[in-house]
Amino acid sequence: MANFSFDIVSEVDMQEVDNAINQAQKELAQRYDFKGTKCSIEFNKAEKKIILLANDDFKLKALQDIMEGRFAKRGVSIKSINYNTPDNAFGGSIRQVAEITSGLPKEKAKEIVQLIKNMNLKVQTQIEGEKLRVISAKKDDLQSVIAGLRESNFSLPLQFTNFR
């Protein structure tokens, strides 16, 4: 009897993130309410970190909104952004570091396994590094798992790949 399977991953297209940041920087330069301020958005590709620099909390929130809007337009999930607490920078401004999370950490994979077990379907799960493989004899059970995980509002963006 043939077994069917698929993988659950949490990946972010870094080129799309880069494009979204570039568009946000262009919008920041064009907007009238940011003229003459020290506000900026910087992207460190190697460390997958975005640095937001603003004059005050209001401007910081506006920078986040600009960036999240550009992410949404580029098809990058906002769930992949992990904001650190803002801290004071030079000249009375505020700096906030946002990290781009990709991959499925072990703790989150275990949470997903528990969610799948609670569905009471005849499927097997295996944690394989930064992905989770779900195996079953019936394609319908696998599709039910995918539908159930899409309904649950999980804290990471999930993609379902290698459906065989």
Distance CA 98, CA 81 (A): 6
SS3 state of residue 34: helix
Domains of the chain, each with CATH number or no CATH: 4-11+103-161 (3.30.70.860), 14-100 (3.30.70.990)
pLDDT in tens, 45-63: 888 899 999 888 888 899 9
pLDDT digits (tens, 9 = 90+) for 60-116: 899 999 999 999 998 888 888 888 888 887 777 899 999 988 888 888 888 888 888
Average pLDDT, the chain: 86
Q: What is the dihedral of CA 25, 26, 29, 33, to 10 degrees?
A: -80
- The structure's pTM equals 0.77
- For 25-34, the pLDDT digits (tens) are 999 888 888 8
Strand partners, 134: 6, 125
